[in-house]
Structure 1
Amino acid sequence: MEPVLVYGVPAGSSMGLVAALEWMGQPYRLCRVDMLGEMREASYARINARHETPVLITDDGRSLSETMAIAAWLEARDTGRRISFEPHSPQADRMHQWMAFINTGFTGAFAPLWTALEMDPPDPHQQASLRRFGREAVIERHDKLEAMLRNSPHAFLAGERPTLADGLLIGVARWLDFHAVAEPGRWPRLAALRARLQADAAVQFALAIENGEQPRGTGACRGHVALADLIGQATPA
């Protein structure tokens, strides 16, 4: 069977992994999950006990969670090096460095904003504090990323073509707009990189999928699987 990527809506970070699968070009399927509804149901724990996305159901039926673990699984199977580089090469090291930064501090900075948004029942005083703290953290991480890009000679994070690092970035970077933290132009190098990625056909495909459309893509995507059909079939990792 083809691997199945369980991706979350709205605005899940997993959008970038859909783009990476398109860049990779190997057959895969998708499973759409409403993070504000279906993901919170008890049955979802059969796929991920932490009730999170993304999740990858591997080609042998195992359930693999956590973005970095899924990225490592994809990298190991990227024999054509379409989304990665030769192991132990300087390019691979740089890609992994970018991925680690994006998946830790950069992504984590948004956590207070998501907590405030999803708080139920709402607590206006606590939500205001969370939003203030979150905005400050997001701006600080964007400042760091902009500085890291200052001396980069590449069109994308790790080279002249998008890689897994760019997929991780584009899935999260749009949260700046979602949470209305600041204008993207405040960080011109990052804004230019985002524009290049958003113009990419695979990213446009992933965004269209997220919006519930049926784009053509590369043909690597073999369609969607219903969440109910996955629950109970996958073997937890």
Structure 2
Amino acid sequence: MEPILIYGFPLGSSMGLVAALEWLGKPYRLCRVDMLGEMREPAYARINPRHETPALITDEGKVLTETMAIAHWLAARDDERRISPDPMSSEGDRMRQIMAFINTGFTGAFTPLWVALEMDPPRPALQASLREFGKEAVIGRHDKLEAMVGEGPYLVRDRPTLADALFVGIARWLEFHEVAEPVHWPKLAALRARLEADPAVVYATALESGESAVGSGVCLGHVPLAEVVERYGA
């Protein structure tokens, strides 16, 4: 069977993994999940007890969760090295290093902003403190990632890798949370512009928004969440 990526909307970090599957060029299916609704329902716990996306149903029908685990699963099957360098190379080391930073400190810096946004019932004083702390953390992490960017067109080599996929799914949170303008980080802004114009990212973003889109042809369609839970849920 083809793997099924369960990806979330709105503004899910998992959008980048849809783009990575397009770059990989092997058949796959998708399952689109509302993170503000059905992901929080009890049934979704059969896929991921932590009620998070992304999740992957592997080609063996097993459920795999956590972004880094899914990325490594994809890299292990990238026999043509389309989205990952040789794992024993210095480029492979750099890709894993950048992915680890993006998936931890860079993504985690946004947590206070999400907590403030979703707080119910509202606690204005606490929310204001969380927003102030979160914005400072996000700016600091952007400074550090800007310093990590090399002179090439992408984060690791002259074509997108899994590191770029993880970055593009998160980067748009900067404007969503009104932290700062991307131009404050010229290298990251140029990278974002390049990635957001990439056909795979355009396709992934359109699907995330619920629009009809034409990709490379390797996506074999969407599977309803109820069917995924019934067939593969614990």
Alignment TM-score, normalising by the size of structure 1: 0.97
How far residue 15 of structure 1 moved from its aligned partner, in angstroms, is 0.2
What is the count of residue pairs matched by the alignment? 234
Partner SS state of residue 188, structure 2:
helix
Q: Which residue of 2 aligns with 1:214?
A: 212
User: In the alignment, which of 157, 179, 202 is matched to residue 181 of structure 1?
Assistant: 179
AA of the residue aligned to 1:153: E
Question: Which digits, 9 at most, give the CA deviation of each residue in 1:119-148, with x for residues without a partner?
Answer: 112211111111111000000000111111
Asked whether the 8 Å contact 1:27–1:222 carries over to 2, the reply is: yes
> Distance in 1 between the 2:148 and 2:72 partners?
23
How far residue 234 of structure 1 moved from its aligned partner, in angstroms, is 1.6
AA of the residue aligned to 1:29: R
Asked whether the 8 Å contact 1:18–1:206 carries over to 2, the reply is: yes
> Distance in 1 between the 2:124 and 2:34 partners?
25
AA of the residue aligned to 2:190: A
Partner SS state of residue 230, structure 2:
coil
AA of the residue aligned to 2:205: L
Consecutive unaligned residues of structure 1, counting only runs of 5 or more, are none
Q: Which residue of 2 aligns with 1:32?
A: 32
Higher mean C-alpha displacement, 120-129 vs 196-205: 120-129
> Distance in 2 between the 1:42 and 1:120 partners?
19
AA of the residue aligned to 2:207: I
AA of the residue aligned to 1:195: A
Partner SS state of residue 17, structure 2:
helix
Partner SS state of residue 53, structure 1:
coil
Is 1:227 the counterpart of 2:220? The answer is no
> Distance in 2 between the 1:11 and 1:211 partners?
9
> Distance in 1 between the 2:212 and 2:30 partners?
12
RMSD: 0.9
Q: Which residue of 2 aligns with 1:103?
A: 103
How far residue 233 of structure 1 moved from its aligned partner, in angstroms, is 2.0
Partner SS state of residue 107, structure 1:
helix
Change (3 A) 1:235 1:211: closer
Is 1:77 the counterpart of 2:67? The answer is no
Q: Which residue of 2 aligns with 1:21?
A: 21
Counterpart mapping for 1:82-97 below 5 A: 82-97=82-97
AA of the residue aligned to 2:79: T
Consecutive unaligned residues of structure 2, counting only runs of 5 or more, are none
> Distance in 1 between the 2:90 and 2:206 partners?
34
> Distance in 2 between the 1:207 and 1:53 partners?
16
Seq. identity, %: 68
Q: Which residue of 2 aligns with 1:5?
A: 5
Counterpart mapping for 1:24-63 below 5 A: 24-63=24-63
Moved runs in structure 1, 4+ residues, more than 6 A? Answer: none
Question: Which digits, 9 at most, give the CA deviation of each residue in 1:43-83, with x for residues without a partner?
Answer: 10000000000000111111100000000000001111100
How far residue 227 of structure 1 moved from its aligned partner, in angstroms, is 0.3
> Distance in 2 between the 1:72 and 1:157 partners?
17
Higher mean C-alpha displacement, 22-31 vs 119-128: 119-128
Question: Which digits, 9 at most, give the CA deviation of each residue in 1:193-233, with x for residues without a partner?
Answer: 10000110100000111111121100010000000001132
Q: Which residue of 1 aligns with 2:66?
A: 66
Asked whether the 8 Å contact 1:61–1:235 carries over to 2, the reply is: no
AA of the residue aligned to 1:215: A
> Distance in 2 between the 1:123 and 1:234 partners?
39
AA of the residue aligned to 1:123: R
Question: Which digits, 9 at most, give the CA deviation of each residue in 1:77-117, with x for residues without a partner?
Answer: 11111000112111111111110110010000000111111
